[in-house]
Chains A and B, each alone.
Chain A
Amino acid sequence: MYSVKELDAGTPARVSAKQVTLFIDGVSVTVPDGTSVMRAAMDVGVKVPKLCATDMMESFGSCRLCLVEIEGRKGYPASCTTLVETGMKVRTQSTKLAKLRRGVMELYISDHPLDCLTCPANGNCELQEMAGVVGLREVRYGYEGANHLSSAKDESNPYFTFDPTKCIVCSRCVRACEEVQGTFALTVDGRGFASVIAAGPTDFLKSECVSCGACVQACPTSTLMEKSIIDAGQPDHSEVTTCAYCGVGCSFRAEMKGSEVVRMVPDKDGKANHGHSCVKGRFAWGYATHPDRIRTPMIRKKITDPWQEVSWDEAINYAASEFKRIQQKYGRGAVGGITSSRCTNEETYLVQKLVRAAFGNNNVDTCARVCHSPTGYGLKTTLGESAGTQDFDSVDQADVMMVIGASPTDGHPVFASHMKRRLREGAKLIVVDPRTIGLVRQPHVEADYHLQLRPGTNVAVINSLAHVVVTEGLLKEDFVRARCEVKEFEKWKAFVSEPRNSPEAMEPITGVPAQQIRGAARLYASVPNAAIYYGLGVTEHSQGSTMVIGIANLAMATGNIGREGVGVNPLRGQNNVQGSCDMGSFPHELPGYRHISDAATRSLFEGDWKVKLDPEPGLRIPNMFDASLDGSFLGLYVQGEDVAQSDPDTQHVTAALSALECLVVQDIFLNETAKFAHVFLPGSSFLEKDGTFTNAERRISRVRKVMPALAGMSDWEVTMALSNAFGYPMHYNHPSEIMDEIARLTPTFHGVTYEKIDQLGSIQWPCNEGAPEGTPVMHVQEFVRGKGRFVITEYIPTDERTNSQYPLLLTTGRILSQYNVGAQTRRTANLMWHDEDKLEIHPHDAEQRGIKDGDWVGIRSRAGETVLRAVITERIQPGVVYTTFHHPFSGANVVTTDNSDWATNCPEYKVTAVQVTRVMQPSTWQKSFNEFDQQQRSLLPAHEKAKV
């Protein structure tokens, strides 16, 4: 059910150039052609009674409550399924209609429990409301006949219950699962009176249901009801905010009782999600008040010392004094900071400002280093801007989607639902991935091509696709010659035309049959609109930047840039990856992607910040680790990141963290990195602060504080205090003042203010004098850099090779129910779906090694060894194994190596040569991890130890 604050117009809005004028109860109304009578009535404030209709999905016409009279027509048509016509005269109220509606309600209520006062939907139940609206006063049929009132309740799902006694079989849940989510997990089982809603032949938890909650939202009664509402009761107020999980950046109403969140409802007005959500955003928010939250600052001299709880002032002064001491002893460049894509724009901006202005160097980096830094480099090089080219809604105009190295149904589930909707409408799909990702085959969705390449051969595939486009005359030469640098294009054209780049020549390298490459290239290049969506399977390679360039080359060559339905679209992993990069978190760039060596830009910031800036680029995260081990980098401030779990070659990372003289960690939990820290500053969750996130489509959305910061300070306040203690004054009264400074100093943000975001709902940058309300699609008239630039992309095999010792390739990724290092989702009931990371292995490879499903297996690489349980599956090809990295004990990154992208040092998570063998016990690393974990927990203050 919708939030109490939202209006349900009954059927979806329509867009049409043709407008139709009709009369509803004598009042004239003009609406787009294709609009339902019900929705047109709503436009003039007439709420036609309804039960099976809701504006999130197409009309169904089953409940017969929305009957109206139309002049000149026989009978009583349903207003939800009847479309408007010019001059139509509609009556929504009459004695006959009232009688008919009461009759319908009598039937419903005769098979519905009369427990309204104790029902969790009491006060927010559409059936209850409609009974009142139609004036139901009696049920002539009585309640003693056949009914469904003894049906068993399904409580298997951790977040919601299914109570069939309350069900009116309106099919809203079934249709939501089909139309909104695209999973088709629910059905109406049986016929007539025996009809019941079913999640297949099992309960909800074991079914195909992905717990997105669309059915719960659609249900007009308490049949599908959040357990949080059953426990807490109906909310009394709400606030619109932005989800803190993936890069889709869904807008939600946080529904509250006092300062307690009782439900998160996706916002229909949210331009990224249009009222949809996934299991994480809708349900997995309980971590915000989890007992593991540390609420008091702590310090210690050595990591073997017990933590000492101190005041905020003491912790901040201690951190500042330690950093000053380190700089005095080892030099100005011996300290730095890491910003987080889980934090707001304002917070990351302040951390980079702290490093540049207070620390006096550029040793600031962000977790985008290990995910999308190649996107920044590749798109800036070719198109001129480090960002995706489209808005999400652009996919509605795409005739072909090419999804490369991404699993949207796992990583970006709400956009995956949007994609699936377009695919069901007939768009074609090309998947380029070593795994059989969810999109390859779903109900009513099947990839036209699945180019199941060998890990590490992306560039070979993109070159061979380009080869087909060029050699088969599929180029859009007019576009290229008008919009791109022709000399560079000619060089690229000659390069990809070489026979060594043909699909046939590349087949032995990529493992993809040449005819599939040819077919996919022809499909991509031959339709009016083809769009590329890609993820970390593109970037996290030794040629990550090269592949991003190759993608941009292909899009330019086929004219698929600069309008709706096309483009190059990085699917950002975390909620604010785009924003943290925009905010100047990279060591070589000031906010707005301007190089630190540029004197004019530096001068702008120097004037505003009243400090001289270092013109030299600083250390990237992996360089920080190397410099720490080298003894030249000894103080690190980490806000909201967990490098000890997320970064590759764990043993190298933890050795580097151990070598630091002062590690300051600001986080909501004692994460793996914090176990190496000397100062712990309690962080605040997204529910506890104001700010903005910028999603994968460059959309800046407000994060609104709905509850007090549990530790007393929001993250931006902590960074400000740290800067002041360090001796560089920072004074902001509210994050909006930080955004004002960002806008003042950043051309692409010149027009952004909190007031404008509140007014428009959200804004896609660039937002400035040229685009006062933002820019949904970029590069429309010309590329940001002027002419698009083609760059040669030679395929260079990774140094990470298989051999007899390490014969398999390990690739890593994520799963729907968990998020990144799992710090948030592991502290929710999402554990029910994924309580440990497992190793996926092909039946052939498993058989060769005597491995059975569920066996413990050791995974050994040149970097290290860990042990996981095996899952035998044909989702992956022979020779490849796969795991996730959501649980620290799994040690997935103990195995990954320090190989990285040539341009950005983004780690090569996606290709690690390994051997897999059956084992009987955890790895040596896992044993020492457990010992260290126990030791660190024992060093916590007594009341914190009691909690864990």
Chain B
Amino acid sequence: MDIHHLVKMANDIANFFKSEPDHQVALDGVAGHIRRFWDPRMRRAIIKWVDDDNGEGLQPLALEALKTYREKLMPQPVTE
């Protein structure tokens, strides 16, 4: 997956939730949205980006959400 596209998508999501006054609600919102709507390969790719490249390009709320909820967002290993 094009990581720059995924980074932009994550940032767009964070931009929506950052106006939420309660920071925890905003974090939950970003992570929850990605968990509910992103295919596992997309989640795997963005988490790898956070792990390997420190999430370069991600805006702070998106990065914090991905780090905070890393385990919940990481898909289970695929069993074929």
Contacts and interface: CB of A to CB of B under 8 A. Distances in A.
A148 interface: no
Nearest to A632: B41
Interface string A478-497: 00000000000001000100
A902 B15 contact: yes
B16 A902 contact: yes
B2 A629 contact: yes
A904 B78 CA distance: 25
A900 B78 CA distance: 29
A903 B41 contact: no
Interface in A602-653: 616-620, 623, 626-627, 629-630, 632
A420 to B, nearest CB: 37
Contact of A617 (B15, B16, B18, B38): B38
Contacts of B13: 902-903
B12 A626 contact: no
Contacts of A588: 36-37
Contacts of A58: none
Contact of B16 (A597, A623, A627, A903): A903
B52 interface: no
Contacts of B20: 792
A910 to B, nearest CB: 16
Contacts of A251: none
A902 B38 CA distance: 12
A618 B16 contact: no
A616 B12 contact: no
A905 B75 contact: no
A332 interface: yes
B42 to A, nearest CB: 6
Interface string B6-21: 0011001101101111
A332 B78 CA distance: 9
A310 to B, nearest CB: 30
A333 B1 contact: no
A222 interface: no
A542 interface: yes
Contacts of B1: 623, 626-627, 630, 632
A618 B39 contact: yes
Interface string B36-51: 1111111000000000
Contacts of A331: 78, 80
A760 interface: no
Interface string A891-907: 00000001010111100
A903 B42 CA distance: 15
A794 B19 CA distance: 6
Nearest to A542: B12
B36 A623 contact: no
A587 B16 contact: no
Contact of B2 (A542, A587, A620, A630): A630
A792 B19 contact: yes
Contact of A898 (B5, B18, B21, B36): B5
Between B16, B21, B80, the greatest number of chain A beta carbons within 10 A of the residue's beta carbon is seen for B16
Contact of B37 (A617, A626, A792, A794): A617
Nearest to A902: B12
Interface string A326-362: 0000011100000000000000000000000000000
A332 B20 CA distance: 38
Given A792-B20, A903-B16, A623 B80 contact: no
Count chain B CB atoms within 10 A of each CB in A542, A546, A617, A620 and give the residue with the most. Answer: A617
A616 B78 CA distance: 11
Given A630-B2, A794-B19, A332 B42 contact: no
B16 A626 contact: no
Contact of A333 (B18, B37, B41): B41
B23 interface: no
A845 B12 CA distance: 32
B77 to A, nearest CB: 12
A91 to B, nearest CB: 71
A505 interface: no
A587 B5 contact: no
A623 B2 contact: no
Interface string A583-612: 000011000000101000000000000000
B12 A623 contact: no
Nearest to A796: B15
Contacts of B15: 794, 796, 902
A792 B37 CA distance: 21
A623 B39 contact: yes
Contacts of B8: 799
Contacts of B36: 588, 595, 597, 617
Contact of B19 (A495, A542, A587, A616): A495
Contact of B9 (A363, A597, A905): A905
Contacts of B75: 616
Nearest to A618: B39
A902 to B, nearest CB: 4
A796 B18 CA distance: 11
Greatest chain A CB density within 10 A among B1, B8, B13 is at B1
A546 B40 CA distance: 25
A324 to B, nearest CB: 13
Contact of B41 (A542, A627, A900): A627
A799 B8 CA distance: 10
A332 B75 CA distance: 15
A332 B80 contact: yes
Contact of A903 (B5, B18, B33, B78): B33
A902 B15 CA distance: 9
Contact of A546 (B2, B16, B41, B78): B16
A34 B41 CA distance: 66
Contact of B39 (A333, A792, A794, A904): A333
Contacts of A597: 36
A367 B70 CA distance: 32
Most B-side CB within 10 Å, residue of A623, A898, A904: A623
B2 A616 contact: no
A612 to B, nearest CB: 11
A905 B5 CA distance: 11
Contacts of A792: 19-20
A104 B36 CA distance: 73
Contact of A619 (B9, B19, B39, B78): B39
A333 B43 CA distance: 14
Contacts of A794: 15-16, 18-19
Nearest to B75: A616
Contacts of B9: 900, 902, 905
B16 A333 contact: no
Nearest to B45: A630
A539 B46 CA distance: 26
Interface of A: 331-333, 363, 491, 495, 542, 545-546, 587-588, 595, 597, 616-620, 623, 626-627, 629-630, 632, 792, 794, 796, 799, 898, 900, 902-905
Interface of B: 1-2, 5, 8-9, 12-13, 15-16, 18-21, 33, 36-42, 75, 78, 80
19 contacts: A331-B80, A333-B41, A333-B78, A587-B39, A617-B38, A617-B39, A619-B39, A619-B42, A626-B1, A626-B5, A627-B41, A630-B1, A630-B2, A632-B1, A792-B20, A796-B16, A799-B8, A898-B5, A900-B9
Given A616-B75, A902-B16, 16 more contacts: A333-B40, A333-B78, A546-B16, A597-B36, A617-B37, A619-B42, A623-B1, A623-B39, A626-B2, A629-B2, A632-B1, A794-B16, A796-B15, A796-B16, A902-B9, A903-B13
The 4 closest A-B pairs by CB, nearest first: A902-B12, A794-B19, A619-B39, A792-B19
